[in-house]
Amino acid sequence: MDGALAGRVILVTGASRGIGAEIARRLASEGAFLALCSRNLDGLNLFASQNGFTEENSFLIAQDLSESTGIDSCAQLVLERFGRIDALVNNVGGATGRGAFLDVSDSDWLKTFETNVLSLVRLAKAFKPHLSRSEYGRIVTISSTTAQEPGQFDPHYSSAKAAVNNLSKHLASIFASDGITVNVISPGPIHTEGLIEFLTGIDAKSSNDGVKESEKFHSNMKSRIPLGNLGSPTDVASLVSFLLSKDASWITGSNFRIDGGKNRGIF
């Protein structure tokens, strides 16, 4: 699909690392002009310098999109730099606070919903008038399979992602008359820097049998995936690229699980 997105202006949020960074690399290879947003300007600058991004094909934005002021600033900067926008790849997300239901505070619930749900609400409001003027108006949000199949921990995160899926279905319906498609991608376990950091963090722990907890955790994840391996950020980026392309012009309101078969549900 080389050049399939040539000339498109696309905002990628949460773009400095992991899935967001790989999406940015893929869309750049397709010829898109990219606005890359993250809270971490140093991380953005490092990513851009290591991957050949220049002022000609990219624009770096350091804003916290869990805050309404961050959304307003991001939207203003994108439109000042490019004068238009064709697609939003809404990858920003994550959980504030981790643990089981009784471990998660009210403030953790609220911040997690602001980060995952209200960011989409505010971005969609800010960019809808401009996306409607594009021939290829697109919104693609990165969710999670935990929205449909929650685990034993981080219920605030899985609940927020379920809300994102519901909201995206609503937006697909009401934005369709303006030619804007809205879709969701729900990854399962993906081998990212975040996962590596998590496993490293529990490496110091070991059970009585001398096996590291990280090894047990990783093995358990793989055992629940029919294809036998964790996913890669490139798997997600390839699907994003397709959903932004002309070939996906009649796809909207859909949720694409990309999880190696981990989720056993038929819907």
Going by C-alpha positions, the residue among 206, 208, 175, 188 that lies closest to residue 259 is 188
Is 136 considered catalytic here? no
Q: Which domains does the chain have, with CATH numbers?
A: 9-190+232-258 (3.40.50.720), 192-230 (no CATH)
- DSSP H helices in the chain: 18-29, 41-50, 68-82, 106-113, 119-131, 155-175, 193-201, 213-223, 233-244
Q: Is the pLDDT of residue 1 over 80?
A: no
Q: Which of 157, 184, 190, 233 is catalytic?
A: 157
Mean pLDDT of the chain: 93
Burial 185-212 (b: 16+ CB within 10 A, else e): bbbbbbbbeebeeeeeeeeeeeeeeeee
Contact 153, 165 (CB under 8 A): no
Q: The tokens 């991608």 sit on which residue? A: 185
Count helices and strands in the chain by DSSP H and E runs: 9, 7
The rounded percent of the chain whose pLDDT value lies above 70 is 94
pLDDT tens track for 93-124 = 999 998 999 999 999 999 999 999 999 999 99
